[in-house]
Each structure stands twice: as structure tokens, then as C-alpha cells.
């Protein structure tokens, strides 16, 4: 009998596997086998060779920068319109954030502006398939090759998105995912990095697990060599690292959620197509422009409201009155956040950042105020209907 009544998010399968972990007594990925199985399953599902489980989609990005040797004074290009995690990991490495503008129709990083921001100090580029829409990856790849700068693909919002028929995790050296509670699949909190490069996998795994030298690209278990491990002459660590591991309990949930990932993504796609239908004839709500080469995975259904006479506040109020679940606005741009404006971010390296001036990203500034984000985490298409109908009514109300 199922102990979970509303089982679209978590089901009896998660409960069963967690119970198995509890009964096994192996709650750490350094000794248990669930995380290893989860990593293998996830890598296969998203189309990559290696996957390393982390405790968040922020620690994954931190490890990604470390693996590219990003350090003091290096520049890292990042879109101005993204989550604060992308900025904070750059600062955590004592590197310099360089903001690139976005395309006002796709909301993703603009490759032309990205290229303009490259300097001799650029060490890495972070790109973000925002809301689930793949970036213009061919152009980004060309820039990466031309200047010899590596790309971190922050696909926290875009599992199973595709570009020219390929899973986006197969395109770059490093792709990062988040499993926080709002994402397509969740482990409560958690993350994963995928790569096709063995050395990168190894470096990333070591950074996430205190630099233990017994770690391998494909295996985080190190306590299975106790005879060696417990010797007083054994030196355990040959690299720097933090503890960003995922526990076996979360790994158990992740394992089951990975099995459901395709279904979960397709459900959001289906609901998004219903939202698209509703706004099709609306002149002022512009959806993210998606080309035939791209398969969106729809974390949220996000549109730009180009009618200045309709505010986010009023539209949202009516939408909720008509029975909609709510509408998120976009984050502030990274350089518009208080932590950036008040200079608190500079405290780690005041000398380095003394003469820092950020670039102004005009498109991002314009569209940030216009974005309406409709959450898509419904348990089925039926439960999304109230919001779909509410959107229809709201559009009619403002016509």
C-alpha cells in the first residue's frame, strides 16, 4: 500500500530505496553504492560519459570553475540575467565577473556580446540555457575554440534539452545540473556535473570530496580499502577539495527521480504547449523564441510582456483572481542585486576589485522588467488547466 497519497513528486519507490539505504547502514557516498548507481544512470540519461553527484547546483559550478583552474584575477564571462549562484562562485574563486548581454527574444546569452567581452584575461565562460531553452551553442563553441576558453554549461533549468538533435550535456566539457525543490527532478537539494573528459571528472570529484587521492573519475567510494586507508603511513589527500558530497539518502531519491525524468520533462513540455496556444494571438506576450534546432525542456513558461501599460503586479493580481497559481518576475540582473551594488562582494579581494567597473547590458536591463514566469510544476495536465484558463481570462480582461 502506498504511504504517499499525492505521489507525482515522490512515490513509494523513493520511500523503498531510502529505506533500503537506512537498513544497509551505508549513508555516505564514500561507502554506499547508491550514488554510484545514480551517477551512472544520470550520465546515461542526459547523454554524457561521467557524472558526479553534488549537494547543490551551486557547489557544482564552484567545482567547475576550480577544474578549469579559475583563480585570482581571472575573468569569467557570465550572462547578466541569471541566478546569483553563477556570480557567487566566480567571486568565491577570487575571479572577476564580466557580464554579457542577452538576446531580447531568446533571453539567453548573446554570442556577439559574449565575444566582445573576451580579453586576454578571460579564463572561462558560463552559459545558461535559461528556463530550459538551449543557447546558441554553435556560435558559443566557435568562440570557445577561437579564443581557447572553456565553457561551463549551467543546465540547472534544462535537463534533457536538445540542440541540433544532441543532448546538451554532450556539447561541452562541463555541464551542471541542479536538483533543488523547484526543478524537473529533485533530491530536495542537490546537483550533478557531467563531462565526457576523464581528467575533468577526476578533478571535479576530488574538489567535491576533500581531494581524496583514492577517488576515481567514476567512483566516489573510498572506504572500501580500509586496510590501506587506516594505516598511519597512508597519505589520503593529493589535491585540494571541499565537502560537497551528496548523501546516500538523497542519492536514493535521485536514482528514482532519474528514472522518471523523461516523463517529468515531457509533462512540462505538454503544459508549456498549452500555455503557448493561449498566448498565440496575444500581441504583447512574447514567448522565448525557439528555433527548430532546439528542444526546450521548460523549467518555466516564460514570456516577455511588451505592453508598458500592463504591469506585472496588475497582470499577476488578475491572473490569481481568475484562479492562476501565480507568476514570478525575473531575478534582478546580477549587477543590480544589493550585494553587488553595496560592494559587499568586493570584501574578499578589495585590491583586486578596487577599480572594477561592470558593463551595462541594455537588453537584459530592458527585458528583466518585462518577464513573466509561469511555474510548470503541476502534477498532471489536468491540474494545470486552472492556470491555463486563468491566463485566457486575464488576456481577455486586458484586451
By C-beta, is 279 or 367 nearer to ligand PLP? 367
By C-beta, is 55 or 387 nearer to ligand PLP? 55
User: Could you give the string, one character per residue 35-74, with x where binding to ligand PLP holds by CB under 6 A and - elsewhere?
Assistant: ---------------------xxx----------------
- Which residue from 53, 83, 209, 265 is in contact with ligand PLP, where contact means CB under 6 A? 83
CB of 386 to ligand PLP, least distance (A): 25
330 binds ligand PLP (CB under 6 A): no
CB of 190 to ligand PLP, least distance (A): 7
Helix (H) or strand (E) holding 141: helix 137-147
Burial degree of 382 (CB within 10 A; 0-12, 13-18, 19+):
exposed
Per-residue burial over 91-130, b = 16 or more CB atoms within 10 Å of its CB, e = otherwise: bebebbbbbbbbbbebbbbbbebbbebbeeebbbbbbbbb
- Which residue from 110, 154, 162, 173 is in contact with ligand PLP, where contact means CB under 6 A? 154
DSSP 51: E
Q: How many residues does the chain have?
A: 399
# residues near ligand PLP by CB under 6 A: 15
Residue nearest to ligand PLP (CB): 57
- Which residue from 76, 95, 118, 128 is in contact with ligand PLP, where contact means CB under 6 A? 128
By C-beta, is 61 or 310 nearer to ligand PLP? 61
Per-residue burial over 64-86, b = 16 or more CB atoms within 10 Å of its CB, e = otherwise: bbbbbebeeebbbbbbbbbbebb
- Which residue from 29, 157, 297, 305 is in contact with ligand PLP, where contact means CB under 6 A? 157
CB of 193 to ligand PLP, least distance (A): 12
Nearest to 127, CA basis, from 161, 93, 94: 161
Nearest to 67, CA basis, from 236, 244, 248: 244
User: Could you give the string, one character per residue 334-373, with x where binding to ligand PLP holds by CB under 6 A and - elsewhere?
Assistant: ----------------------------------------
Q: 267: Cβ–Cβ under 8 A, 6 or more apart, which residues?
A: 378, 380, 381
- Pairing state of beta strands 166-167 and 162-163? antiparallel
- The C-alpha torsion from 67 through 73 and 76 to 80, rounded to 10°, is 140
By C-beta, is 86 or 101 nearer to ligand PLP? 86
Per-residue burial over 140-163, b = 16 or more CB atoms within 10 Å of its CB, e = otherwise: beebbeeeebbbbbbbbbbbbbbb
Q: What is the footprint of ligand PLP within residues 171-190 (CB under 6 A)?
A: 178, 180, 189
By C-beta, is 57 or 390 nearer to ligand PLP? 57
CB of 135 to ligand PLP, least distance (A): 12
- Contact between 308 and 177 under an 8 Å Cβ cutoff? The reply is no
Choices 154-162, 232-240, 282-290, 327-335 (CB under 6 A): range interacting with ligand PLP: 154-162
By C-beta, is 187 or 305 nearer to ligand PLP? 187
By C-beta, is 176 or 394 nearer to ligand PLP? 176
Handedness of CA 32, 34, 37, 42 (dihedral sign): negative
The whole-angstrom separation of Cα 261 and Cα 42 is: 9
Binding site for ligand PLP (CB under 6 A): 56-58, 82-83, 85-86, 128, 154, 156-157, 178, 180, 189, 191
Amino acid at each position: 500500500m502506498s504511504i504517499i497519497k499525492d505521489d507525482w513528486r515522490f512515490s513509494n519507490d523513493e520511500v523503498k530505496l531510502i529505506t533500503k539505504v537506512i537498513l544497509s547502514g551505508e549513508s555516505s557516498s564514500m561507502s554506499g553504492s547508491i550514488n554510484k548507481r545514480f551517477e551512472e544512470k544520470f550520465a546515461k540519461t542526459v547523454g554524457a560519459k561521467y557524472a558526479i553527484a553534488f549537494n547543490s547546483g551551486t557547489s557544482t559550478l564552484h567545482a567547475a570553475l576550480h577544474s578549469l583552474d579559475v583563480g585570482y584575477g581571472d575573468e569569467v564571462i557570465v550572462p547578466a540575467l541569471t541566478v546569483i549562484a553563477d556570480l557567487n562562485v566566480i567571486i568565491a574563486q577570487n575571479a572577476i565577473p564580466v557580464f554579457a548581454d542577452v538576446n531580447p527574444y531568446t533571453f539567453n546569452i548573446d554570442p556577439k556580446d559574449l565575444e566582445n567581452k573576451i580579453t586576454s584575461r578571460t579564463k572561462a565562460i558560463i552559459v545558461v540555457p535559461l528556463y530550459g531553452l538551449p543557447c546558441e551553442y554553435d556560435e558559443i563553441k566557435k568562440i570557445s575554440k577561437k579564443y581557447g576558453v572553456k565553457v561551463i554549461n549551467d543546465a540547472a533549468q534544462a535537463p534533457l534539452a536538445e540542440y541540433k538533435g544532441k543532448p546538451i550535456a554532450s556539447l561541452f566539457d562541463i555541464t551542471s545540473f541542479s536538483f533543488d525543490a523547484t526543478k524537473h527532478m529533485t533530491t530536495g537539494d542537490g546537483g550533478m556535473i557531467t563531462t565526457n573528459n576523464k581528467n575533468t571528472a577526476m578533478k571535479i570529484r576530488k574538489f567535491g570530496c576533500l581531494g581524496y587521492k583514492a577517488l576515481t573519475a567514476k567512483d566516489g567510494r573510498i572506504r572500501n580499502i580500509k586496510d590501506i586507508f587506516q594505516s598511519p603511513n597512508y597519505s589520503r589527500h593529493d589535491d585540494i577539495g571541499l565537502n560537497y558530497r551528496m548523501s546516500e539518502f538523497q542519492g536514493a531519491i535521485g536514482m528514482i527521480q532519474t528514472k522518471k525524468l523523461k516523463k517529468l520533462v515531457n509533462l512540462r513540455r505538454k503544459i508549456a504547449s498549452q500555455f503557448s496556444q493561449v498566448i498565440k494571438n496575444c500581441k504583447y506576450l512574447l514567448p522565448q523564441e525557439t528555433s527548430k534546432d532546439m528542444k526546450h525542456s521548460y523549467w518555466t513558461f516564460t514570456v516577455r510582456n511588451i505592453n508598458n501599460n500592463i504591469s506585472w503586479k496588475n497582470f499577476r493580481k488578475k491572473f490569481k483572481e481568475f484562479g492562476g497559481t501565480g507568476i514570478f518576475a525575473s531575478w534582478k540582473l546580477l549587477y543590480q542585486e544589493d550585494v553587488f551594488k553595496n560592494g559587499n562582494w568586493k570584501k574578499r579581494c578589495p585590491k583586486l576589485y578596487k577599480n572594477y567597473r561592470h558593463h551595462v547590458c541594455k537588453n537584459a536591463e530592458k527585458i528583466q522588467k518585462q518577464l513573466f514566469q509561469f511555474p510548470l510544476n503541476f502534477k498532471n495536465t489536468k491540474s494545470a488547466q486552472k492556470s491555463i484558463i486563468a491566463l485566457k481570462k486575464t488576456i481577455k480582461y486586458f484586451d
